[in-house]
Structure 1
Amino acid sequence: MCCKPSFDLWTLCRTLGTLLLLFFATRSCRSQESPQNVAIEVHVDQLDGPMIPIWNYFGYDEPNYTYSLNGKKLLGELAALSPVPVYIRVHNLLTTGDGSASLKWGSTNIYTEDAAGKPVYSWVILDRIFDTFHAAGIRPLVEIGFMPEALSSHPQPYRHNFPQGSVFTGWAYPPKDYQKWAEVVFQFVRHLRERYGEAEVKNWLWEVWNEPDIGYWQGTHEEFFELYDYSVDAILRAFPEARVGGPDSTGPSYPKAAEFLRVFLDHCAHQRNYVPAKTGSRLDFIAFHTKGSPKWQDGHVVMGIARHLASI
């Protein structure tokens, strides 16, 4: 037996959008026209068309849980949940460490240096993470971060012990050498392209860092723009078809976050690129984190979209 739903979410969203437009239109015309009553009729029992899923993006801090037993189980469940491919975004893909996980911590140890300061690359832990994504049919939303200990301009202390003390330790600082950083990013992207193939990797998305408008970035705005420029240049040299976005700042409903997003977009559109002989910076999509506003009500979680609408 099959029955139609009592309401269609897509129709509801369109109705909400109409109400918002009417609200702002009414406010703008208030001084010119006398108030009028407006009647809106909504046919919630009529289907408008297929609803395109927008909940197929997930993320977490601790990449080393990815290949754990429960991590694999959860990824499989998320992949089965969505009729379209699921994207996963994790922190700490470039962070230095032995691969042990803890709250808000993870590491891959892909880059270290020998006694002479020469680079040493190791892909063992990274491959376990991305092999798990691949086996589950997951598409990575690859976050370029965080700073390897050997490149950090303020390396100590490096590993945090959250919730004791600050989470923003040596991994959150700018590199002491942007060209060395760019080479790490280039080798990182090239390795993933060669291991999983261009046909697969062209479906991935790439982002630089996480929420650089708050403590995740312990440098200035300009230092982040420099990091972004060098990172994007390295990504595209390793894989010209890559789709790169950012800045993955916090929700612009907050004035400080909105100002950061504004100056970042201005940098990408109009300002000098920090990579020699280039102007402007590649930006295929704009990303920021609106977060939600869920509430516990009558024994279940009620999702709220007010903060999303304010940010957008």
Structure 2
Amino acid sequence: MLSLLLVLTTFARIHAHYTSGDVVYHTMPHFWTGVGFCPAGRIDHEGISSALSDPALRLNLRQIAALPVGAVTHIRIHWLLELIQFWQYDPSGIPIYDFSKFDDFIDFLHEELRLSPALEWMGNLGGVFSENPMQQSFYWEHLVKTTINHQIARHGSSRLANWRYETWNEPDLRGYNKLNFTAHTYLDYVQAVRRGLSKAGNLDNQDGKVPLPMYRSLRGPAGLFKDSNHPLCWNLLELCSQRVVYCPIDILTFHRKGIEGTATEIVNGSLSLMAKIYEEYPNLKQLPVANDEADPVAHWSTSREFQADVRYGITLISTVMQFWHAKLAEGALARLESISHDNAFLSYHPYEFTQRTLLAHFRMNETKPPHSQLVQKPVYAALGMLAKLGSRAADVELVNMDTKHSVQVLRTVSGGLGGPGQYMATIFLSPEEAGPKMTAFHHKYTLNMSIANESAFITELLLPKETDPYYIWRQEGSPAYPNATLREAMRRAQTPRLYKTGPIWQYNSELVINSASIPLPWAMLLRVCSASWPKLRRPQQLSIAEVTHREVFISWMEHPKSTQCLLSYEVWFKERDNLGRSADWMLISDGWHLPYPSFQYAPADKGSVNGFYKVRGVDVFNETSPYSQIVEYLEL
């Protein structure tokens, strides 16, 4: 039995303005919601098309999109532009492109997954650029403008409002620099991309008036900035520093990972790089900055034990916390705009859990036909916990556990006009490593909520073994093809553990936590909701995707401002037999804690998945949302 003492006691009402004691809350955009990966296989149209149409990869992306609303908003895919196929030159020598496969993938991202691409302008579509070195600048401007105008014509400019655009990824590395850029041709390329973005028009015509083109920010140079060995990225910064107002990039992007796998290394490396850049080019302090490969260690496919279990999830949360602290410190990261994680890859045998991914991928080659099974790793759950944070946050607090170790505390709030807010979310994060003689952590935390009606709290834990599918898999011998029983056991451990929930009837409460017996490392998410917070809305866009015969992945969309008080979801099913008759509705998620908007259903005893599905949410006050629309699924 897990021994974590959680005591709520009441105190007199205290009025405050967005503070708890002497803690000040700052507006906090959720700046960590990007993920990325590089497709496997050949880097050309056929290779990238094949990789991005793979059912396993699309199921992987579907599960990533099934995190709580706002957990992941952007996905950065290397060589995505290769989905556009060069067709031929027109009589004047202008390339003509076939966008059909690009359109298909973008529609999948937007319509089904509600994700926006972080589109890198990199590729050599059918050899257009390498075969026409004297025309590269013109062709890049044309491709950028044509690509954007094509999407606007299909769906309107609002479709592209949240897209991110970035220059060539790590252009100083030979493995990426497929066009053999020189210092001169690289700067020409970047400026051509900027012109293409600027000239792309808003083709929406309302009342006979054609509005002015929308300004679209360009990110770059997406570099490692390794001293003088990476001249392309440094030359771009020098150009920008000389005339910042004419700088082709609007957001300075860089890559800094850890070395030994710690969050501190990632943040310190970012601070060190930006301090060096500002020392050389002080004029660039005007630009927002982003680390869009902020990972614990380089080389995603290298097998590492910590990437399989709770430690990676704790590291990712710690990375977010430390970047937030660095941003508030008004130092070299004061202009931090975002960070992103390269962890949306599809793992492969025998490293199903241990590669740097959000899900463990099992390729089930012994079924007919073969199929893929995916299990959410603790780092996936960690992203879901971060999604529950509020819109204003205090600086990170350190609470001493013993002479060497501290717990990180990040408190956030949303709503409210005369006090901290109607919603509070706090993450408590244990040390990533600690000795065997850890003293008791006995921390009093004041929920300084000035409210006019009752509230309720909920706590969820991410901790070793109990919320660790990798541990369960190893206990069963790490089979390459886990059976249905083992897969269900792993999935029951893939979400944070619901610990305690209950009412708060008074204005102020004090939370006492004693974590002396909790195995390290762990994270706890505490949420406090006022009864006046918006009620749960109806789940939207219920989707049923085939996994294999008699097994489906069910997911749905959440309303962005109604799920903070969510306790769990319920998934209901009404079977239809071969004669078309329907049985009664059955709660197929009975006994599951489902804090995230998805559920994988595989009925036992040769049960059927054919029938009708609906979903509803249950909040911390035990009130339910309306049911989603009913969706019928028929297995072919």
- 1:285 CA drift (Å): 0.7
Q: Is the 8 A contact 1:59 1:89 kept in 2?
A: yes
Partner residue, 1:81: 67
Q: Is the 8 A contact 1:211 1:249 kept in 2?
A: yes
Partner residue, 1:179: 138
- 1:115 CA drift (Å): 9.1
Q: Is the 8 A contact 2:171 2:233 kept in 1?
A: no
Alignment of 1:126-205 (within 5 A): 126-134=102-110, 135-153=112-130, 176-205=135-164
- 1:2 CA drift (Å): 10
1:233 is the counterpart of 2:192: no
1:98-136 deviation per Cα after TM superposition (whole angstroms, max 9, x unaligned): xxxxxxxxxx24323259655332011101211111020
State how far apart, in whole Å, the 1-side matches of 2:162 and 2:146 are: 19
1:265 is the counterpart of 2:251: no
Partner residue, 1:249: 223
Larger CA Rg, structure 1 vs 2: 2
For residue 36 of structure 2, the aligned residue among 19, 34, 59 is: 59
**What number of residue pairs does the alignment pair up?**
227
Find the residue that maps to 2:130 and give its secondary structure.
coil
Find the residue that maps to 1:264 and give its secondary structure.
helix
Q: Is the 8 A contact 2:86 2:98 kept in 1?
A: yes
Higher helix share: 1
State how far apart, in whole Å, the 2-side matches of 1:91 and 1:80 are: 22
State how far apart, in whole Å, the 1-side matches of 2:155 and 2:192 are: 24
Greater relative contact order structure (CA < 8 Å, 6+ sep): 2
State how far apart, in whole Å, the 1-side matches of 2:231 and 2:136 are: 28
Structure 1 residues 242, 81: closer, same or farther in 2, change over 3 A? same
State how far apart, in whole Å, the 1-side matches of 2:153 and 2:24 are: 45
State how far apart, in whole Å, the 2-side matches of 1:54 and 1:2 are: 32
State how far apart, in whole Å, the 2-side matches of 1:213 and 1:49 are: 38
The RMSD of aligned alpha carbons is: 3.4
Structure 1 residues 201, 114: closer, same or farther in 2, change over 3 A? closer
- 1:203 CA drift (Å): 1.4
**What letter corresponds to residue 265 of structure 1 in structure 2?**
L
For residue 252 of structure 2, the aligned residue among 286, 290, 294 is: 286
Find the residue that maps to 2:169 and give its secondary structure.
coil
Partner residue, 2:168: 209
- The answer for unaligned runs of 5 or more in structure 2 is 8-22, 40-47, 202-213, 275-636
1:161-187 deviation per Cα after TM superposition (whole angstroms, max 9, x unaligned): xxxxxxxxxxxxx66442133212211
- The answer for unaligned runs of 5 or more in structure 1 is 5-45, 96-107, 156-173, 273-278, 296-301
State how far apart, in whole Å, the 2-side matches of 1:257 and 1:57 are: 28
**What is the TM-score of this pair, normalised by structure 2?**
0.32
State the identity as a percent: 22
**What letter corresponds to residue 200 of structure 2 in structure 1?**
A
State how far apart, in whole Å, the 2-side matches of 1:271 and 1:221 are: 18
Higher strand share: 2
Alignment of 1:103-118 (within 5 A): 108-114=83-89
**What is the TM-score of this pair, normalised by structure 1?**
0.61
Structure 1 residues 270, 110: closer, same or farther in 2, change over 3 A? farther
Find the residue that maps to 1:149 and give its secondary structure.
helix
